[in-house]
């Protein structure tokens, strides 16, 4: 899961980045409106955390233009306590939820999970595919009820595949989901993660679609 944080205040941004990376997201940080605008043109994000008071652009205007271009990622607005008007304007411009500063990082992570759940049309907090089950809150996975020991990026890759099990993901798309700006990625990183997952899940659980990418094995 790839997340964009738009926030100019380092005192807020730094702990958010650390907490969301810890929670397994690939996180990019745009520190002003211009950077946010450029970032949002790459439609790779699963979730956007948007501060409304920004240098070089207004957060609500940014959100409005993102939605008008057809941007579909859930957007969680971060606002000041006295910003009731901007919260309403943000929701009406296409935000999905908001948090008031200062906020608790565990609550932010839980709201992010809820928004992603809604986006994928699930009502269950768990991801499941046949006998495979993933809990995004604890980041624990089981196969046939037996725990799977997965590295953080293995969990994230599997979560991406399980979220839409019929979809074929190219290696580039998977790399976009798993690695943020400036994170080192080797040319065969995705193959290495897939190989590790196949060893843990069974070789046929992740199917290679030649010339296209990967998807999960079909289940009845
Ligand atoms: Ca601000």
What pTM did the predictor assign?
A: 0.93
Q: How far is the CA of 112 from the centre of ligand 1 (A)?
A: 20
Q: Are 142 and 133 in contact (CB under 8 A)?
A: yes
Q: How far is the CA of 90 from the centre of ligand 1 (A)?
A: 14
Q: How far is the CA of 136 from the centre of ligand 1 (A)?
A: 29
Kindly state the average pLDDT of the residues 159-183: 94
pLDDT band (50, 70, 90) for residue 220:
low
pLDDT band (50, 70, 90) for residue 81:
confident
Q: How far is the CA of 51 from the centre of ligand 1 (A)?
A: 6
Higher pLDDT residue, 127 or 80?
127
What pLDDT, on a 0 to 100 scale, did the predictor assign at position 42? 85
Q: How far is the CA of 123 from the centre of ligand 1 (A)?
A: 33
What pLDDT, on a 0 to 100 scale, did the predictor assign at position 59? 93
């Amino acid at each position: 899961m790839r997340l964009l944080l738009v926030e100019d205040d380092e005192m807020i941004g730094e702990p958010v980045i650390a907490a969301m990376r810890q929670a397994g997201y690939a996180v990019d940080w745009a520190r002003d409106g211009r950077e946010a605008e450029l970032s949002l043109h790459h439609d790779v994000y699963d979730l956007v955390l948007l501060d409304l008071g920004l240098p070089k652009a207004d957060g609500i205007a940014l959100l409005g233009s993102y939605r008008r271009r057809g941007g579909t990622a859930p957007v969680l607005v971060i606002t000041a306590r006295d910003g009731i008007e901007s919260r309403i304007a943000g929701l009406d411009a296409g935000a999905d939820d908001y948090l008031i500063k200062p906020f608790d990082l565990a609550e932010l992570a839980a709201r992010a999970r809820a928004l992603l759940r809604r986006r994928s049309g699930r009502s269950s907090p768990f991801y499941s595919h046949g006998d495979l089950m993933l809990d995004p809150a604890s980041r624990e996975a089981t196969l046939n009820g037996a725990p799977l020991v997965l590295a953080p990026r293995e969990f994230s890759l599997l979560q991406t595949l399980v979220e839409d099990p019929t979809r074929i993901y190219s290696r580039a798309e998977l790399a976009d989901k798993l690695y943020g700006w400036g994170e080192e990625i080797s040319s065969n990183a995705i193959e290495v993660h897939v190989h590790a997952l196949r060893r843990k899940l069974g070789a046929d659980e992740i199917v290679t679609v030649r010339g296209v990418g990967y998807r999960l094995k079909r289940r009845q």
